[in-house]
Chains A and B, each alone.
Chain A
Amino acid sequence: MPEIVAERVDLAFGKGDARTSALRDVNVTIEPEAFTIVMGPSGSGKTSLLTVLGALIAPDRGRVAVGGRDLTSMCSERLAAFRRENVGFVFQSFRLMAGLTAEENVRMSLSMRGALDSKKRALRALAEVGLERKAHLKPDAMSGGEKQRVAVARALAHDPMILLADEPTASLDRASGIQVGEMLKAAVHRPGRVLIVVTHDERLRPFADRVIQMEDGTVVTARTGQ
């Protein structure tokens, strides 16, 4: 699947006087097979950009297209179907299901997508992040780094074309942060995959092929390399 294109995207939250602009006239193109990080101060619109590019929300204005498919014209169920088929998410707060084991967390994500061999694939995905021996553990019995690795396994298990990560290392110690960065870097080598990581974490900068700098809801710079 080719690039993600955002053209003249505006996004605001709230109503009336409380309405706040999150994205203003954003134009950006994200190339596949590149480790793209989005940086910027708090409130600069990084996460809002991720929600729009990840088909979680439609912009108020402008156009977002993935491989030529216009996401802005899709209804919420079609957006959900698009995410289900094409997108993997890694969240800052992991967002694992507390009642499920690591294996079940990954497996549930797969079965939701209709996978018949969900158990086998879940165990393989956990093995790829080095957690095959902890597949039976629930999130509350795991460290932050391990939880994030489960989240990465969950995001990659269905082999998505787009991988989006929001502050994936914010809650992790240095070693775990580096480990997650390496995993994401490895994930981007899949042909055609788009990877976007929103982060404050300078530790991830060395992994980046491209850095998008945001401020006040707009893209101020988008440059290739570290």
Chain B
Amino acid sequence: MLKLVHIYLDRLRYAGTSLTHARGRLTIALVGITFSAFLMAVQGSLLYGFTLAASRIIDAVDGDVWIVAPGIPALEFASPIEERIAWLARGVPGVAETGRGISGWAPFQRNDGGRTFVFAVGATQGFMGKIPSPDGAANLVGGRKVPLQVDETDKNALSETSLPIGVQVAGVKADLVGSIKGFAAFLGTPFVFARFEDMRNFLPYKPSTISFVLVRKEPGSSAESVRDALRARFQNVDIWTKNEFSSKSRIFWLIKTGAGGALSLAAILGFLIGLSVVAQTIYSLTVDNVEEYATLRALGAHKGYIKSIVLIQSLACGATGTFFGLLGVGPFADAAKAIVTWISVPAWMYLLVSVVVAILCVLAASIASRPAIAIEPARVFRA
């Protein structure tokens, strides 16, 4: 055991010293890996953030099962359905409660005179889930008749930097009373959150229609069984569990739209570029050292010895480059949020990129060690 530790410490020493000796080459390798790790993490975070943003409202609103108009691919395409479905659904086995919601695009009159569109969302009280109620914010600022909320990053897009302030949505006077966090626009048009009762004023919905029904299941029931029961009861509507509707929305925005497709492709390309830079860097580093490996082979080094040296150097480069690359991801994402509000860097992204780079370093080392092993030891006599 002691002998093994001793031998591996000596290998580590040789691998490290040999690596740091050629500083120029090492610097170039580290720059390559740093950039690659950074690129992979940023592209991954963009894609991940976009995925979350694509279903953020669905995920936040409190409903185990959604009933929506047939054929809609995402909440942003909500169409009217009969409001009475919400009352009728209460009689379906497994349903504990139902809520109603209206959502849709509405013109927003800015105070600077400009106009923009917003995506307005409102659900009956108790069903907004993680989205703070506009009523709460309205109470804080002395009460407003038609309170609205917007994500703080979208305040600038609406030219409203100090709240509360009077605005107009679809020609109806309202008050922007507060800003919330975590519900930034991902399509370029801000989300505006209102009370369910006010939504009919903003959107051209008949009094008997709504955009969606939110179903809360009874304890002990599964969302799937409630969904099946509702499907058996109602025709001409789509009924999805929360997870299904969330996935459907993500797939639509990510794959079936040009922007989402471009983003997904860019993320894949970014990852591939990162991977190829890491592989190429490790390979070059090893091939540059091939004369030293020839000497080691001539002195009698076995293949495992050479492989372990290449692997140690590869992993050391990978770990150092990844460390520096990932160091810049957080600050970059914070700065980028001003433009790309949905970017999100989860903690596991750091782990994922580190593991991917490590796996790649092992693969690159195994490929790169081939010429180092295959080298003819007799070449050491050619001066």
- The answer to whether A and B interact is yes
Q: Interface residues, chain A, CB within 8 Å of chain B?
A: 47, 50-51, 56-57, 77, 80-85, 87, 89, 91-93, 95, 97-100, 104, 107-109, 111-114, 116, 118, 166-167, 170
Which residues of B have CB within 8 Å of A57?
Answer: 376-378
Please name the residue on chain B nearest to A82 by beta carbon.
B300
Given contacts A89-B380, A93-B383, A99-B21, contact A111 B7 (CB under 8 A): yes
On whether the beta carbons of B6 and A111 are closer than 8 Å, the reply is yes
Q: Bound state CA distance, A77 and B306, in angstroms?
A: 12
In the A-B complex, list the 10 residue pairs whose CB atoms are closest, starting with the nearest: A99-B21, A84-B300, A111-B10, A83-B300, A51-B378, A56-B378, A99-B18, A95-B295, A57-B378, A93-B383
On whether the beta carbons of B18 and A100 are closer than 8 Å, the reply is yes
Q: Bound state CA distance, A89 and B299, in angstroms?
A: 7
Q: Tell me, rounded to whole Å, the shortest Cβ–Cβ distance linking B22 to chain A.
A: 7
B332 contacts partner chain A, Cβ-Cβ < 8 Å: no
B17 contacts partner chain A, Cβ-Cβ < 8 Å: yes
Of B11, B18, B21, B378, most A-chain CB atoms within 10 Å: B378
Q: Tell me, rounded to whole Å, the shortest Cβ–Cβ distance linking A194 to chain B.
A: 16
Q: Tell me, rounded to whole Å, the shortest Cβ–Cβ distance linking B155 to chain A.
A: 57
On whether the beta carbons of B14 and A85 are closer than 8 Å, the reply is no
**Residues 1-34 (chain B) with a chain A CB within 8 angstroms:** 2-3, 6-7, 10-11, 13-14, 17-22
Chain B interface size, under 10 / 10 to 19 / 20 to 34 / 35 or more: 20 to 34
On whether the beta carbons of B302 and A81 are closer than 8 Å, the reply is yes
Interface SS of B by simple majority: helix
Interface SS of A by simple majority: mixed
Q: Bound state CA distance, A100 and B309, in angstroms?
A: 14
On whether the beta carbons of A99 and B17 are closer than 8 Å, the reply is yes
On whether the beta carbons of A80 and B302 are closer than 8 Å, the reply is yes
A-B contact count (CB 8 A): 91
Q: Bound state CA distance, A100 and B21, in angstroms?
A: 8
On whether the beta carbons of B21 and A98 are closer than 8 Å, the reply is yes
B237 contacts partner chain A, Cβ-Cβ < 8 Å: no
On whether the beta carbons of A83 and B299 are closer than 8 Å, the reply is yes
On whether the beta carbons of B380 and A95 are closer than 8 Å, the reply is yes
User: Which of A56, A97, A109, A111 is within 8 Å of B377, CB to CB?
Assistant: A56
Q: Tell me, rounded to whole Å, the shortest Cβ–Cβ distance linking A86 to chain B.
A: 9
Q: Tell me, rounded to whole Å, the shortest Cβ–Cβ distance linking A76 to chain B.
A: 8
Q: Bound state CA distance, A47 and B17, in angstroms?
A: 31
Q: Bound state CA distance, A158 and B298, in angstroms?
A: 15
On whether the beta carbons of B2 and A116 are closer than 8 Å, the reply is yes
Q: Bound state CA distance, A25 and B1, in angstroms?
A: 48
Q: Bound state CA distance, A93 and B382, in angstroms?
A: 9
B348 contacts partner chain A, Cβ-Cβ < 8 Å: no
Which residues of A have CB within 8 Å of B14?
Answer: 97, 100, 104, 108, 111
User: Which of A82, A89, A99, A113 is within 8 Å of B20, CB to CB?
Assistant: A99
Of A84, A97, A107, most B-chain CB atoms within 10 Å: A97
Q: Tell me, rounded to whole Å, the shortest Cβ–Cβ distance linking A162 to chain B.
A: 11
Q: Bound state CA distance, A95 and B305, in angstroms?
A: 18
What are 10 of the A-B contact pairs (CB < 8 Å)? A80-B300, A82-B300, A91-B295, A93-B383, A95-B380, A97-B17, A98-B292, A100-B18, A107-B10, A112-B301
Given contacts A51-B378, A99-B17, A99-B21, contact A112 B299 (CB under 8 A): yes
Q: Bound state CA distance, A90 and B361, in angstroms?
A: 34
Q: Bound state CA distance, A107 and B11, in angstroms?
A: 11
Please name the residue on chain B nearest to A52 by beta carbon.
B378
B297 contacts partner chain A, Cβ-Cβ < 8 Å: yes
B268 contacts partner chain A, Cβ-Cβ < 8 Å: no
On whether the beta carbons of A167 and B300 are closer than 8 Å, the reply is no
Q: Bound state CA distance, A168 and B240, in angstroms?
A: 82
